[in-house]
């Protein structure tokens, strides 16, 4: 990895999102941020209904229960 990338992300993992001066890693957090930031209709990550938002989160995190069982 290039030094410029490593400087952005101290954890040295991918993916990384840089939006203006905001930098974050972790794919699910990035997906949530992008939906909240750019989906003005609030259809991708609903904020008015906790149940709908919970359902979206459930689907975003399903792999942790399927692929990483304890």
- Percent helix, strand and coil across the chain, each rounded to 5? 50, 10, 40
Residue found by looking up tokens 């990338």 in the block? 5
Q: Which CATH number fits domain 3-66: 3.30.1490, 1.10.10, 3.40.1350, 3.40.30?
A: 3.40.30
Residue 66: is its pLDDT beyond 80?
A: no
**Domain definitions of the chain by residue range:** 3-66
So what's the pLDDT on residue 39? 94
pTM: 0.80
Sign of the CA dihedral running 39, 43, 44, 48: positive
pLDDT at 62 (0 to 100) = 85
């Amino acid at each position: 990895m290039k030094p410029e990338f490593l400087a952005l992300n101290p954890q040295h993992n991918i993916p990384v999102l840089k939006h203006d001066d905001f930098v974050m890693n972790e794919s699910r957090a990035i997906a949530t941020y992008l939906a909240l930031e750019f989906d003005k209709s609030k259809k991708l990550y609903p904020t008015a209904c906790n149940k709908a938002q919970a359902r979206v989160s459930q689907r975003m995190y399903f792999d942790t229960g399927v692929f990483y069982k304890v």
